[in-house]
Amino acid sequence: MALELNILVGTMTNTAQLVAQEIELTLGDDDTVVKVQYMDGLDATAIKPGALYLICTSTYGQGDVPDNAKSLYDSLVATRPDMSSVRYGVIALGDRTYLQTFCFGGKKFDALLSELGAQRIGEVCLHDASAGTLPEEVCLEWAQAWAEQARTELAAA
């Protein structure tokens, strides 16, 4: 059965969208259906029971999620749905020059989803914009291994 992967994009200047598109282009095939969606205007009901998500988000302000991710994040905080049938991964984009809040946008989603009972697959992918590496390359490599792990875990479930 094809793996159905929903990528939710939180972004201000579209780096996260570029990363998501690269993953869609490379991983999407008959065995892997990839759907990319901006988080704009979403609420907690966008995350469906039993589905697989990749949260792909940057960080702004004092370690906040980007503006377009706020409605989804705040709705999850306010409604606290049971997410125990949801599996997810996180790509967190940030910059280590923001020492105290490095990649907090993605880390906040990870902490919240985990609190709500969702099961994370793999480790969080952290990208440092000051490292001189291309986010679409680093994150694509991570996502290829992550998708394999997701396939294995879902087949065993």
Ligand X SMILES: Cc1cc2nc3c(=O)[nH]c(=O)nc-3n(C[C@H](O)[C@H](O)[C@H](O)COP(=O)(O)O)c2cc1C
Answer yes or no whether residue 106 interacts with ligand X by CB under 6 A: no
For residue 152, give the DSSP letter: H
Task: Give the tokens for residue 115.
Answer: 């609190």
Q: In 3D, which of 97, 98, 48, 46 has the Cα closest to residue 72?
A: 46
Partner residues linked to 60 by β-bridges:
64
Q: Which residue is nearest to ligand X (CB)?
A: 94
Answer yes or no whether residue 133 interacts with ligand X by CB under 6 A: no
Answer yes or no whether residue 12 interacts with ligand X by CB under 6 A: yes
Residues 20-59 binding ligand X (CB under 6 A) are 58-59
Answer yes or no whether residue 60 interacts with ligand X by CB under 6 A: yes
Answer yes or no whether residue 15 interacts with ligand X by CB under 6 A: yes
Q: What is the CA 145 to chain-centroid distance, rounded?
A: 15
Q: 106 — phi, psi (to 5°)?
A: -70, -40
Of 10-18, 25-33, 78-86, 112-120: span binding ligand X (CB under 6 A): 10-18
Residues binding ligand X (CB under 6 A): 11-16, 58-60, 63, 66, 93-95, 98, 101-104, 129
